[in-house]
Structure 1
Amino acid sequence: MKISKTVLATLVFLVPSFATSVVAEPPARGESESLPEMVVYHDPACGCCGKWMEHMREAGFVIRAETGNDMRLVKQQFNVPASLQSCHTAEVGGYAIEGHVPAADVKRLLAEQPDVAGIAVPGMPMGSPGMEYDGNKRQKFDVLSFDKTGETAVFSQYEARLK
């Protein structure tokens, strides 16, 4: 079977461009493992939520932002105790992530898979991811785990930095 020069020329140009268009992008910043998609529920006007999502993207997470939800119901759905609530709630790997939790703690949660509903940074501590200010300074804050009954435990601690 003979292939015409026109068909052959068309294939030469189409096949490489098709192959290029279906190649997936490599994980961010040299991440070797594949991280699950993170769904973040937040108010679209919240600036610190956007900064926190950028922190997660830089750590290799793929983010799907959801706005326009009744945040009270979202927090209820993920069993986030009232005392731990913050400005945004995320779901990743079956866990709730509440507030300005550092990416390293989310990765640890996914690696260890403890029997908890999620982890949280209550409030909005200055210097936590998304709440950066004045260089490298931060308030002391804890990352707390919580279960479906509202029981909490310290998951990790971050000391204050004055400089």
Structure 2
Amino acid sequence: MSIKRNIAVLAILFSVSASVTGSEEPLLTVLKDPNCGCCEQWLQALPDSFSVSVEHPNNLTQLKRDSGISAAVQSCHTAISDNGYVFEGHVPPTLVSNYLAGEKSENGIGLTVPGMPVGSVGMEMGSRFQPYTVYEIKQDGSVIPYQQIASSEQQQTLSNGGF
């Protein structure tokens, strides 16, 4: 099955779910390992305006691939919006909101923060901070830089995002 078809199927499933709940707020389904603490911290940083459900699938890696997330840009958890966009790893909540509001490329399918950079949302370790790049994932599987996070101050601003 192609990436485009997988995303279309996921989008249909999530839009049916959103229409059943009558929800106007963004709906995210987060796929993660049940034992991952940093994923829980990332979830807590999401704005209250998001409706979030959490699943612990046995085939998490395969679901990531099926959603268009290559092994090279994977992290620990995957969030899929009701309209089929993917957010892989420790993407700052403000950037998730911005992307869902339309700040994306024409053929973008989501954002990723590969790995688990120290200081990213959910990976805070005191004053330690590792600059990192948030990438946009394209329909063809390629990635392009979306935003560089250069400092803990910038990270803090994007983590809070006025929520």
Aligned partner (choices 95, 103, 113) of residue 121 of structure 1: 113
Question: So what's the TM-score if we normalise by structure 2?
Answer: 0.72
Q: Give the equivalent residue in structure 2 for 1:42.
A: 32
Shift of 1:161: 3.7
> More deviation in 67-76 or 36-45?
67-76
Q: 2-side partners of 1:88 and 1:97: how far apart? A: 8
Report the secondary structure of 1:120's partner residue: strand
Aligned partner (choices 81, 86, 91) of residue 75 of structure 2: 86
Q: Which runs of at least 4 in structure 1 moved beyond 3 Å after TM superposition?
A: none
Report the secondary structure of 1:133's partner residue: coil
* 2:52 counterpart of 1:63: yes
Aligned partner (choices 112, 123, 132) of residue 131 of structure 1: 123
Q: Percentage identity across aligned positions? A: 35
Q: 2-side partners of 1:95 and 1:68: how far apart? A: 18
Q: Give the equivalent residue in structure 2 for 1:4.
A: none
Does the Cα contact within 8 Å between 1:74 and 1:89 map onto a contact in 2?
Answer: no
Pair member with larger Rg = 1
Q: 2-side partners of 1:129 and 1:51: how far apart? A: 7
Q: 2-side partners of 1:119 and 1:68: how far apart? A: 21
Report the secondary structure of 2:41's partner residue: helix
| RMSD (Å) for aligned C-alpha atoms | 1.7
Structure 2 residues not aligned, in runs of 5+: 1-23, 154-163
Q: Give the equivalent residue in structure 1 for 2:132.
A: 141
CA deviations 1:10-60 (Å, max 9, x no partner) are xxxxxxxxxxxxxxxxxxxxxxxx53110000000000011111111x453
The alpha-carbon distance between structure 1 residues 59 and 120, as it changes in their structure 2 partners (threshold 3 A), is: farther
> Which amino acid in the other structure matches residue 87 of structure 1?
C
The alpha-carbon distance between structure 1 residues 108 and 125, as it changes in their structure 2 partners (threshold 3 A), is: same
Does the Cα contact within 8 Å between 1:59 and 1:103 map onto a contact in 2?
Answer: no
Q: 1-side partners of 2:36 and 2:67: how far apart? A: 20
* 2:52 counterpart of 1:53: no
Structure 1 residues not aligned, in runs of 5+: 1-33
Question: So what's the TM-score if we normalise by structure 1?
Answer: 0.72
* 2:97 counterpart of 1:103: no
Does the Cα contact within 8 Å between 2:133 and 2:145 map onto a contact in 1?
Answer: yes
